[in-house]
Structure 1
Amino acid sequence: MPDETSDIYCAYAPFYDGSGQIRFAILFAHYLLGDILPRHPVAGRRALDLACGTGTLALILADAGWLVVGVDRSPAMIAIAGNRAQSVDTAVRPHFIEADMRWLWREMPHTTDEATETLRRGSFDLVTCTYDSLNYMLTEEDLAACFSTAAEALAPEGLFVADMNTRHFLEHDWGEVEIIERPGFIQVNRSRFDPATNCSTMRLIGFVGDDHSGYERFEEIHIERAYPPETVAMLIGAAGLSVEAVYDCFTTQPIGERTQRIAWIARKR
């Protein structure tokens, strides 16, 4: 289903980890395994990672002994995740599937391979959705669809863990201009927040090459929307999940007016 997110993470995918984005997944994995799950335990070790990107979080969970399925709608990101799964030795081999997390259960490919056989409704002890992924849902209907996907995936007493940027972060703390330089790659981000829509629009321009042979240019537009916590809690509840905790992300402290990112913890009762 085409929408505003259909053309992002295509040209950028090969440079995603190298531009420093991989650090968030590593940090969140430590937060999940070290802080969240000890406080909010689950019975088993089956995990579904929605909007998995290049698969870093899924691979870390797999190395910790979890049976993991990663889902992402970007063919380029899923290809990288799949290649990494083949080249990295983990305790359990993760599976990666190209699919839209909003419509996962209606868009599942009609195949019998091991990956799709592993993806079953009501079979997961943990569902994750991290690194702004839910902020890319620009309507309440799309956000609700993601929560419904998570609820359908979870076994009874299973846990949903997600993060979302706050309006305070998008409006005040996300810089207007950012430049990232790596060998053979330059990235320029320009962001603008619209208070009327609660949306931040980032124009990402990348240059790939070198000073001798020249550079190729690509461009992507990334739009994130901030939602009031009350709206998010209402939509999570409507999906059949019970909010168990709301944390200032990467801590176990309550959120405040200047919280940049919220960690949502919800359980399927």
Structure 2
Amino acid sequence: MKQTQVTKPPYSSLADIYDEVMHNVDYESWADYLDEIILQHQPEAAEILELACGTGTIALSLEELDCYNITATDASADMIRIAKKKGVQVNSEIHFHTMDFLNINLAKTFDVVFMVFDSLNYLHNGDEIIKLHNEVRKVLKPDGIFVYDFTTPRNSRKAISYLNNESKTIDRKFRYFRESSFDGKNRIHTNLFRIQYLNHKNGSVESTHEEIHHQKIYTIDEMETIIKQTDFTILQAYDGFELKPAHEKSLRITMVLQ
């Protein structure tokens, strides 16, 4: 049988294997870190909105703390499909919705809005980042906080050493390959995922889907310059997963704005 190869939008075919691809990410610790930030900057928070929630793992981990009412959104209907399925399995009360964070359309306001795992790096210019901040402002309570992270050029230079040429077979149903590269001049980090759908009887490849993910990589100075063009104030810029100030060698920076 002739196999087919199809190019798909980001986070469509990848949705079904995303949790396996990210199996080494400690989401529970990430959720605990977000909880620390909330306790530090908005200790009375109850209503929380996650943007770019993916398959919902962090939202579900936060829900286990039994402190928050959580709404979680993602632009990918396929990722939300997986998130809802996981939510049903644990009797979650999280409200999962398909929604583009550049067009937030929700009827309620929130004490905290957050987006993590370098989702912001999918925005490739300052105008898009400013629009994101303006959209968040519409649903953020007057004293609420906006928390997000982004990765730096230093992180991309290090990451390609272990991300490039990554491959794995999953449940004898899928095989994926990742090519990862970083254009230092234009500061574009590209991940190409090639996902093979396997015949469960003989392991042959029935079809191949490709997704190409381009992320713009920012420095802390660039991000601070963009934020100054919004009506948000920077409360803190944290280094990695610490409650310590970010610095020029930070790989991931978490911004806390109000």
1:266 correspondence with 2:257: yes
The aligned residue for residue 165 of structure 2 is: 177
1:222 correspondence with 2:213: yes
Runs of 4+ in 1 over 6 A off after TM superposition: none
The aligned residue for residue 186 of structure 2 is: 197
Say if 1:16 and 1:22, in contact at 8 Å, map to a contact too: no
Return closer, same or farther for 1:126/1:26 CA change in 2, 3 Å cut-off. Answer: same
How far the C-alpha of 1:147 sits from its partner, in A, is 1.7
Identity of aligned residues (%): 27
TM (normalized to structure 2)? 0.86
Return closer, same or farther for 1:169/1:75 CA change in 2, 3 Å cut-off. Answer: same
How far the C-alpha of 1:136 sits from its partner, in A, is 0.7
The aligned residue for residue 10 of structure 2 is: 8
Note the residue ranges of structure 2 that are not aligned, 5 or more in a row: 1-7
1:101 correspondence with 2:90: no
How far the C-alpha of 1:220 sits from its partner, in A, is 0.6
Counterpart selection for 1:120 from 107, 113, 116: 107
Q: Distance in 2 between matches of 1:214 and 1:231?
A: 47
Q: Distance in 2 between matches of 1:8 and 1:223?
A: 9
The aligned residue for residue 69 of structure 2 is: 67
The amino acid that maps onto 1:8 is P
Return closer, same or farther for 1:146/1:25 CA change in 2, 3 Å cut-off. Answer: farther
The amino acid that maps onto 1:151 is R
How far the C-alpha of 1:246 sits from its partner, in A, is 0.7
**How many residues are paired up?**
245
1:137 correspondence with 2:138: no
Q: CA RMSD in A?
A: 2.1
Q: Distance in 2 between matches of 1:129 and 1:21?
A: 19
TM (normalized to structure 1)? 0.83
Return closer, same or farther for 1:195/1:211 CA change in 2, 3 Å cut-off. Answer: farther
Q: Distance in 1 between matches of 2:137 and 2:43?
A: 15
The aligned residue for residue 149 of structure 2 is: 163
Counterpart selection for 1:89 from 68, 88, 91: 91
Say if 1:49 and 1:129, in contact at 8 Å, map to a contact too: yes
Say if 1:11 and 1:218, in contact at 8 Å, map to a contact too: yes
